[in-house]
Structure 1
């Protein structure tokens, strides 16, 4: 009896362990089923998603871009796709297996709201109706430039590039984000300019000493944070500085609507004020130039306070005929920068 009690004392813990194992084994199928149910729910979540993407992300004006629908849970070739752009259906682009469409971008800044409705059977044999939307904005990139050359106040054009002048170029990008989030890469004559690469580098400048008639090619690439890139290039031509002679009733003022003439007709005893106006010199004021005037081969002096102005008086006994009035302007700080001009003076 004592031996049986002793054996029973060791047997009871073993029976308790066995009962626990048996209870766990009975509950295991329920746990496995719960896990399988969760996996099934995940599959359903994946099946319920279709994603649209555009390539390139930011198309440029008049370029083509592709919008594609993708999913990991159905066969695109057997699915039916119905496409919409800005709310309008595209029946010619819709149908079975039509998982992408190709569009042509309009003007910069245009938004395309693209939607797709997909009817498909997923890998588990479940029929699904899925949809997604994406907005594609047409990117734009314009380049503007000007040179630090002189033009008069009433000049409405752009200061042009001449030898020794500095040219400033500005890139105006329309990519739906601040320029602070755009990477600018500048090229001059197809060579990358390292110091001008960086975020928010909208402006670029260079100085050119090329000959008149030469061109410099400027290019910029603009990339957003997602890697979408647009680019634009242009050529800037070197011109010669110019002098244009105007007539003015006031000794040192060019009328706002003044038009240059190649010939002025005067009578004996008449007087005329003529102003030599510089264009595209590397100066800030006309006073930085010297002016050499001559009439019919005889040198004339300009006004003391305004050497670019000359007052011409036709003598009473002047002979009738046509004479040449010429002027040559020279940059005091750039000896090789000069420009001549002339007009005809006809005495009747």
Structure 2
């Protein structure tokens, strides 16, 4: 008796859940109508195409009315899309849709577009000398730290509260998690660029943002400076292709730019000096080369230098120049 009653109640429950009452269409635990937007994550002051589709409702025979921020914008049969323009960062665009099906049923649907502003900063983990005013650039196989800074109003939001999803090289995932606002990624060959995408959202709200940046990859370089006995490296004046001196000796200092920071700090870079066509054995400090005048008359010495990171073989730079000892007479 108890089993028969239980089966009867189960049958009644199934019939009730499948019954659709006139006037309103219920979504029993799933979405009958879905929105897609182009672009996927709209930004501020941007034109957005909103498209509506359904697997359960015949939208092609339905009368559809669109409202944007409570204002009626569009109405008609099978009007399944609309183009809207978002507001400033921090402003929500609320889209309401009323669908009247051919069977006389009504379905309400809402989409909220809340664009968050996202800035991306990147910092190459490559070397630049003290007082260098430019930006360190990534070179072959060097690492780059990329940081996202999201906000949804004029004030900077707390990055730790946001959810982040990172992608680089278009298909390589770099992690996703709440508070993961920075990543470290490798780059490729010089002359190329590494595309980085981040999608961010504020859990529990409608705020969403996205940003794309292409990080350029450069060749490393090496620059020659005079190494003065008392003042040290004269960074304010790089040596030209041809440099003159009246002294009896002249010390050249080689300074690498944009080589991987770990390789330089670990002493892994190799320096190969040539004077004329002869290899010159490195001094105590491989970055220095001291030239000595052989007589009192005008004398020129051609020097060249190759710098290479043996662990990243294409991190290589070459420079050459002429040091002229002027006559002392």
Normalised to the residue count of structure 2, the TM-score between the two structures is 0.60
Rate the CA distance shift 1:251–1:298 in 2: closer, same or farther, 3 A. farther
User: What SS does structure 2 have at the residue aligned with 1:213?
Assistant: coil
Rate the CA distance shift 1:259–1:192 in 2: closer, same or farther, 3 A. same
Rate the CA distance shift 1:69–1:154 in 2: closer, same or farther, 3 A. same
- For the residues of structure 1 that align with 2:168 and 2:325, how far apart are their CA atoms? 53
Counterpart of 2:193 in structure 1 is: 215
Residue 303 of structure 2 is aligned to residue 328 of structure 1: no
Conserved 8 A contact 2:145-2:185: yes
Measured after TM superposition, the shift of residue 323 of structure 1 is 4.2
5+ residue gaps, structure 2, are 1-38, 49-66, 74-83, 93-112
Match of 1:238 among 203, 217, 236: 217
Deviations 1:112-141 (A, max 9, x none): 79xxxxxxxxxxxxxxxxxxxxxx997421
Deviations 1:126-180 (A, max 9, x none): xxxxxxxxxx997421111122222223223332222221221000111254323
Rate the CA distance shift 1:188–1:59 in 2: closer, same or farther, 3 A. closer
Q: How does 1:1-348 map to 2 (within 5 A)?
A: 60=43, 62-63=45-46, 68-69=69-70, 105=88, 139-175=116-152, 177-191=157-171, 193=173, 196-208=175-187, 210-225=188-203, 226-250=205-229, 253-267=232-246, 270-282=248-260, 283-285=263-265, 287-304=267-284, 306-320=285-299, 323-348=301-326
Aligned length: 234
User: What SS does structure 2 have at the residue aligned with 1:217?
Assistant: strand
Rate the CA distance shift 1:62–1:314 in 2: closer, same or farther, 3 A. farther
- For the residues of structure 2 that align with 1:221 and 1:60, how far apart are their CA atoms? 11
The structure carrying a bigger strand percent of its residues is 2
Rate the CA distance shift 1:256–1:336 in 2: closer, same or farther, 3 A. closer
- For the residues of structure 1 that align with 2:142 and 2:323, how far apart are their CA atoms? 34
- For the residues of structure 2 that align with 1:63 and 1:143, how far apart are their CA atoms? 19
Counterpart of 1:132 in structure 2 is: none
Deviations 1:284-320 (A, max 9, x none): 428322212122223333431x110112122225555
User: What SS does structure 1 have at the residue aligned with 2:130?
Assistant: coil
Conserved 8 A contact 2:220-2:258: yes
- For the residues of structure 2 that align with 1:347 and 1:229, how far apart are their CA atoms? 65
Counterpart of 1:84 in structure 2 is: none
User: What SS does structure 1 have at the residue aligned with 2:234?
Assistant: coil
User: What SS does structure 2 have at the residue aligned with 1:255?
Assistant: strand
Please identify the structure whose Cα radius of gyration is greater: 1
Normalised to the residue count of structure 1, the TM-score between the two structures is 0.57
Rate the CA distance shift 1:260–1:62 in 2: closer, same or farther, 3 A. farther
User: What SS does structure 2 have at the residue aligned with 1:180?
Assistant: helix
The structure carrying a bigger helix percent of its residues is 1
Conserved 8 A contact 2:43-2:86: no
- For the residues of structure 2 that align with 1:198 and 1:286, how far apart are their CA atoms? 33
User: What SS does structure 2 have at the residue aligned with 1:316?
Assistant: coil
- For the residues of structure 2 that align with 1:309 and 1:279, how far apart are their CA atoms? 16
5+ residue gaps, structure 1, are 1-55, 71-75, 78-100, 114-135
Measured after TM superposition, the shift of residue 67 of structure 1 is 6.9
